[in-house]
Structure 1
């Protein structure tokens, strides 16, 4: 079994940004005099689009109130918050190796276009990705549109596409799009929760990915569970 396109989630998969996201969510609520979500609740929505995330965190709030919270979150995340947010140690080398091996690489993220473009530029990873999709451009995970649009843009079939992510939303999106899913268990959602969604495997580190792909390509009679 071989793949042509590998699509990565960003936060929690390529970048260790959990602490910054949680801090910015809590600051947004504090700014507007709302009870601050517990860290566990704030972590749970990482991977969703911001609109869907705020709807989960404050389901009884009016649309105007949720939009105000979203504006405050963006202000903190894009400007005011200084919580460190770095690539995971093996992310850059792994992406470079996959690029050299000829894979098409893409990003499907709950980040905004502005937010993704900013981190792609600051990390100098923009040259490695052939296409990207953000939650403010299409429907949020776990809806399949983000992944379907990437496959259509790059001309790759679902059977040749692998989604790599750290949340159940990533795995559900892959299944909904007819693609394969691979989980990484060092991010936001814990291993048992990820395995319950039936990914092909759950890796302990991103550096394991090239070797896992190589073994999969050599294994006879392996089919996608998606």
Structure 2
């Protein structure tokens, strides 16, 4: 796949010019499928969990709920399950994911990118559909707490595309919307940024297809982690 950056016309008055990103002092990332190569394990764990309690779904259906909170995703995938079954699926998913979480590294160029952005005195943050317990676990395992001035999770601020995670991060860092850019791989990520008029970068290597992401009109769109690093660090 090409490592070029695909420009998407901005909905706002901001120009889709890579040099514009040099002015961004706050860079907010989604986690799964954006920084961490975890989509395969998420899909696998959801199949294992659903089938353990008598429910089946498709890879595409699971990918389509990634970015939402886990319980919201389960409700969408298995609408005919009882409340008790949903809780059991949630627990089975968590058990399997945790037991296999060593299989979810950062995408190859991501850690160097984070280090470069820190050297450029950018503030880095995370807004994720994970629960706090789950995010802290992977931050510990990847030894990456120190990169981020703030992290926000779905059980603290509502599931995407609710923008509360982003507004909480803005308030904590004392930054304006115009100072920030949000990067994600799902349609919910881009919808969340768009709801605030925040500059966004959609990455095509995660959950949603290039066409699905383009339909949400992100400010920028990139095909690979390498292209993301080139765009942000230029």
How many pairs align? 213
RMSD: 1.6
Q: 1:121 to 1:58 in 2, by over 3 A?
A: same
Cα drift, residue 211 of structure 1: 3.9
1:73-88 alignment runs, 5 A limit: 73-79=93-99, 81=100, 84-88=103-107
Aligned to 1:222: none
Q: Per-residue CA shift, 1:51-72, capped at 9, x if unaligned?
A: 1101110123232321221111
Q: 1:83 to 1:105 in 2, by over 3 A?
A: closer
1:51-90 alignment runs, 5 A limit: 51-79=71-99, 81=100, 84-90=103-109
Moved >4 Å (runs of 4+)? none
Give me the TM-score of the superposition, normalised by structure 2. Answer: 0.86
Aligned to 2:70: 50
Q: Which structure is richer in relative contact order (CA contacts within 8 A, separation 6 or more)? A: 2
Gaps of at least 5 residues in structure 2 are 1-19
Gaps of at least 5 residues in structure 1 are 216-226
Cα drift, residue 192 of structure 1: 0.7
Aligned mates of 2:194, 2:49 — CA distance in 1: 33
1:166-205 alignment runs, 5 A limit: 166-205=185-224
Q: Which moved more, 1:118-127 or 1:59-68?
A: 59-68
Aligned mates of 2:201, 2:104 — CA distance in 1: 23
Q: Does 1:30 align with 2:28?
A: no
Q: Which of residues 77, 82, 104 in structure 1 aligns to 2:123? A: 104
Cα drift, residue 214 of structure 1: 6.3
Cα drift, residue 18 of structure 1: 0.9
Aligned to 2:11: none
1:106-185 alignment runs, 5 A limit: 106-185=125-204
Aligned mates of 1:140, 1:75 — CA distance in 2: 21
Instruction: Report if aligned partners of 2:37, 2:105 keep a CA contact under 8 Å in 1.
Output: yes
Aligned to 2:61: 41
Instruction: Report if aligned partners of 2:128, 2:152 keep a CA contact under 8 Å in 1.
Output: yes
Cα drift, residue 43 of structure 1: 1.5
Cα drift, residue 37 of structure 1: 1.3
Instruction: Report if aligned partners of 2:157, 2:164 keep a CA contact under 8 Å in 1.
Output: yes
Instruction: Report if aligned partners of 2:160, 2:192 keep a CA contact under 8 Å in 1.
Output: yes
Q: Per-residue CA shift, 1:64-114, capped at 9, x if unaligned?
A: 3212211111111123x3672111011101111111111110001111111
Aligned mates of 1:133, 1:175 — CA distance in 2: 18
